[in-house]
Amino acid sequence: MALSQSSLEKHYISISQKEVMLDFLDQEYQLSLKEYSEASVRRRITKMLNEFGLDRVEKLCEFLQSRSDGKQLFIEKFTVNVTEMFRDPHFYKALEDKVISVLKSRENIRIWAAGCSSGEEILSLCILLYEMDLLHKCHILGTDLNSKMLDEANNRTYKTRHVSTYMKPYLYAGGRYGLEKYFTTHGENAIFHAFLHENVSFKEHNLMEPLGEEPGFDLIVCRNVLIYFKSTLQNRVIAYLDKALRAGGFLGLGSKESIIFYHGKNHFKEIDLESKIYQKI
């Protein structure tokens, strides 16, 4: 039987049911979620059961196993894809004043937006850099575990009703024009101009693993991703980000995230406490 929406938040799957699910994912798909936050894993799997009308994780395992796209379907449903343009406007103002103003003297600026979801954050960065006349010498890499979200990000197309809610945050972040300058409307959709993505590329990537042989980055933005991980995984991911940064590069985290418990925190100095921006020494 399906769980009712009203009871969803109160009746997570049991710990033993969660372990059954995690063992299945590890064995069937080599997908390990054992270092994700306990509450987050149980909440997402419970929601998935409800959506598919199933009452036990064993049935969810059978359902996924019966589909050729089972792994991708699970990832699409499991990942949290809540994102906005110019979310926390003070973060973008701090980026302009304390980060980009430092990086602008560099010949090329490499930026990694880790866990970029459907791309609103990348567009925000592109607009900020364009208005500072720096977009032409930047390369931005957007990565996410969910390939469907990367396709959405690459399309630069969002519902106009959602984009309308980004107008004020854009101005609060120090926007110089109007957000309407950057998109055209077509029916219910707002399609952002292609020039914003001229130097943007996307890559499917699991943050639980190193990025690979990418050249060092001047800025890494990884916001509101670590909160879904246990502390051991948070530290490992920060270590990967640390390694991927050039000396003098900057790291931007979410408002509820920090490097305070990272074993290599002495590699960084704090640039902006409220916006959780750090610079690699």
181 assigned to some structural domain: yes
Is 72 found in the same domain as 93? no
Q: What is the pLDDT of residues 73-108, one digit of tens each?
A: 999 999 877 799 999 999 999 999 999 999 999 999
Residue where one domain finishes, among candidates 19, 52, 78: 78
Is 93 found in the same domain as 64? no
Is 246 found in the same domain as 225? yes
84 assigned to some structural domain: no
Is 266 found in the same domain as 231? yes
83 assigned to some structural domain: no
Each of the 281 residues of the chain gets a pLDDT tens digit; together they read: 344 444 444 457 899 999 999 999 999 999 999 999 999 999 999 999 999 999 899 999 999 999 999 999 999 999 877 799 999 999 999 999 999 999 999 999 999 999 999 999 999 999 999 999 999 999 999 999 999 999 999 999 999 999 999 999 999 999 999 999 999 999 999 999 999 999 999 999 999 999 988 889 999 999 999 999 999 999 999 999 999 999 999 999 999 999 999 999 999 999 999 999 999 99
CB atoms within 10 A of CB 114: 22
Say how far apart CA 272 and CA 140 lie, in whole Å. Answer: 22
Say how far apart CA 241 and CA 216 lie, in whole Å. Answer: 10
Ramachandran class of 224: left when φ > 0, alpha when ψ lies in -120 to 50, beta otherwise: left
Is 274 found in the same domain as 222? yes
Q: What is the pLDDT of residues 201-239, one digit of tens each?
A: 999 999 999 998 888 999 999 999 999 999 999 999 999
Is 113 found in the same domain as 15? no
**Burial (Cβ within 10 Å: 0-12, 13-18, ≥19) of residue 274:** exposed
pTM listed for this prediction: 0.90
12 assigned to some structural domain: yes
Q: Parallel, antiparallel, or unpaired: how do β-strands 157-159 and 189-192 relate?
A: antiparallel
Is 156 found in the same domain as 255? yes
CATH of the domain at 182: 3.40.50.150
Q: What are residue 250's phi and psi, to 5 degrees?
A: -120, 150
Q: What are residue 113's phi and psi, to 5 degrees?
A: -100, 100
Whose structure tokens read 């019966």?
Answer: 66
Residue where one domain finishes, among candidates 21, 48, 78: 78
Is 276 found in the same domain as 177? yes
Residue where one domain finishes, among candidates 29, 59, 78: 78
C-beta of residue 44 within 8 angstroms of C-beta of residue 77: yes
226 assigned to some structural domain: yes
Is 155 found in the same domain as 53? no
Domain count, the chain: 2
The sign of the torsion formed by the CA atoms of 111, 113, 118, 122 equals negative
Whose structure tokens read 């979801």?
Answer: 117
Is 95 found in the same domain as 184? yes
129 assigned to some structural domain: yes
What domain range is 22 assigned to?
Answer: 5-78
CB atoms within 10 A of CB 195: 12
Is 189 found in the same domain as 57? no
Q: Of the candidates 35, 220, 24, which has an alpha carbon nearest to the alpha carbon of residue 113? A: 220
Is 264 found in the same domain as 135? yes
pLDDT reported for residue 5: 45
136's CB contacts (< 8 A; 6+ apart) are 199
Q: Which helix (H) or strand (E) holds 219?
A: strand 217-222
Q: Of the candidates 169, 190, 189, which has an alpha carbon nearest to the alpha carbon of residue 180? A: 190
CB atoms within 10 A of CB 110: 22
pLDDT reported for residue 267: 94
Q: What are residue 256's phi and psi, to 5 degrees?
A: -105, 15
Say how far apart CA 189 and CA 157 lie, in whole Å. Answer: 6
